[in-house]
Structure 1
Amino acid sequence: MTTPMRIVVWATGGVGSIAIDAVRRRPDLELVGVWVHSKDKIGKDAGELAGGDPLGVRATDDAGALIALRPDCVVYSASGPDRDAGAVPDYLRLLTAGINVVSTSSTSLVYPPAYYSPEWRDQMAAAARAGNASFYASGIFPGFGSDQLALLLSTQSKTIRCLKVTEVALNDHYPVADVMMNGMGFGRLLDFEPLLKTPGFIEMAWRAPIHLIATGLGVEVEEVRGTLDRRVTDRDIEVAFGTVKAGTCGAVSTRAAGLVNGREAIVVEHIIRMARDVAPDWLTSEFDASYRVDIDGEPDIHCAMNVGASEGHGAGHAAMAATAMRVVNAIPYVVDAPAGLLSSLDMPNTLPRYVFDDRTEGDDE
Structure 2
Amino acid sequence: MSTFSLPPRVLRTVVWSTGGVGSIAIDAVAGRPDMDLVGVWVHTPDKVGRDAGELAGRDPLGVAATHDADALIAMRPDCVVYAASGPERDAGVVPDYLRMLRAGINVVSTTSTSLVYPPAYYSPDWRDQLQEAALAGDASFYASGVFPGFASDQLALLLATQSKTIDVLRVTEVSLNDHYPVADVMMDGMGFGRPLDFEPMLKTPGFIEMAWRAPIRLMATGLGVEVTEVVGTLDRRVTERDIEVAFGTIPAGTCGAVRTRAAGVVCGREAIVVEHIIRMARDVAPDWPASDFDATYRVDIEGDPDVHCAMNLGDAEGHGAGRAAMAATAMRVVNAIPFVVDAPAGLLSSLDLPNTLPRYAFGAMHDPAKKRQFERSGR
1:219-265 superposed Cα distances (whole Å, 9 cap, x missing partner): 00000000000000001111000011110000000000000011000
Figure out how many residues of one structure are paired with residues of the other and give that number: 361
Secondary structure of the residue aligned to 2:70 is helix
Which ranges in structure 1 are unaligned for 5 or more consecutive residues?
Answer: none
Q: Name which of 171, 191, 195 aligns with 1:189.
A: 195
Query: Residue in 1 aligned with 2:22?
Result: 16
Secondary structure of the residue aligned to 1:311 is helix
* Shift in Å, 1:330: 0.1
CA distance in structure 2 between the partners assigned to 1:341 and 1:235 by the alignment: 46
Equivalent residue letter for 1:111: Y
Which structure has the higher relative contact order (CA within 8 Å, separation 6+)? 2
Deviation beyond 6 Å, 4+ runs, structure 1 = none
Distance 1:312 1:144, change over 3 A: closer
CA distance in structure 2 between the partners assigned to 1:254 and 1:217 by the alignment: 24
Of residues 1-10 and 201-210 in structure 1, the stretch that sits farther from structure 2 once superposed is 1-10
Q: Name which of 19, 42, 51 aligns with 1:45.
A: 51
Query: Residue in 2 aligned with 1:83?
Result: 89
Secondary structure of the residue aligned to 1:60 is coil
- Pairing 1:216–2:215 present: no
Equivalent residue letter for 1:154: A
Which ranges in structure 2 are unaligned for 5 or more consecutive residues?
Answer: 1-6, 368-379
CA RMSD of aligned residues (A): 1.0
Secondary structure of the residue aligned to 1:144 is coil
CA distance in structure 1 between the partners assigned to 2:56 and 2:228 by the alignment: 44
Secondary structure of the residue aligned to 1:168 is strand
Query: Residue in 1 aligned with 2:361?
Result: 355
CA distance in structure 2 between the partners assigned to 1:193 and 1:21 by the alignment: 39
Query: Residue in 1 aligned with 2:130?
Result: 124
* Shift in Å, 1:71: 0.3
Query: Residue in 2 aligned with 1:57?
Result: 63
* Shift in Å, 1:128: 0.2
1:96-151 superposed Cα distances (whole Å, 9 cap, x missing partner): 00000000000000000000000000000000000000000000000110111000
Equivalent residue letter for 1:209: P
Secondary structure of the residue aligned to 1:6 is strand
- Pairing 1:327–2:316 present: no
CA distance in structure 1 between the partners assigned to 2:71 and 2:290 by the alignment: 47
Query: Residue in 2 aligned with 1:265?
Result: 271
- Pairing 1:243–2:219 present: no
1:152-210 superposed Cα distances (whole Å, 9 cap, x missing partner): 00011111111000000100000000000000000000000000000000000000000
Query: Residue in 2 aligned with 1:93?
Result: 99
- Pairing 1:198–2:209 present: no
Equivalent residue letter for 1:48: E
Query: Residue in 1 aligned with 2:172?
Result: 166
- Pairing 1:32–2:41 present: no
CA contact (8 A) 2:33 2:365 kept: no
* Shift in Å, 1:287: 0.4
Equivalent residue letter for 1:47: G
Equivalent residue letter for 1:326: R
CA distance in structure 2 between the partners assigned to 1:359 and 1:38 by the alignment: 33
* Shift in Å, 1:3: 3.5
CA distance in structure 2 between the partners assigned to 1:101 and 1:142 by the alignment: 18
Secondary structure of the residue aligned to 1:280 is coil
Q: Name which of 300, 303, 311 aligns with 1:305.
A: 311
User: What's the TM-score, normalizing by structure 1?
Assistant: 0.98
Q: Name which of 139, 142, 151 aligns with 2:145.
A: 139
CA distance in structure 2 between the partners assigned to 1:75 and 1:234 by the alignment: 41
CA distance in structure 2 between the partners assigned to 1:138 and 1:17 by the alignment: 17
1:277-330 superposed Cα distances (whole Å, 9 cap, x missing partner): 110100000000010000011111100000110114100000000000000000
Q: How does 1:249-288 map to 2 (within 5 A)?
A: 249-288=255-294
CA distance in structure 2 between the partners assigned to 1:2 and 1:222 by the alignment: 44
CA contact (8 A) 2:113 2:144 kept: yes
Secondary structure of the residue aligned to 1:174 is coil
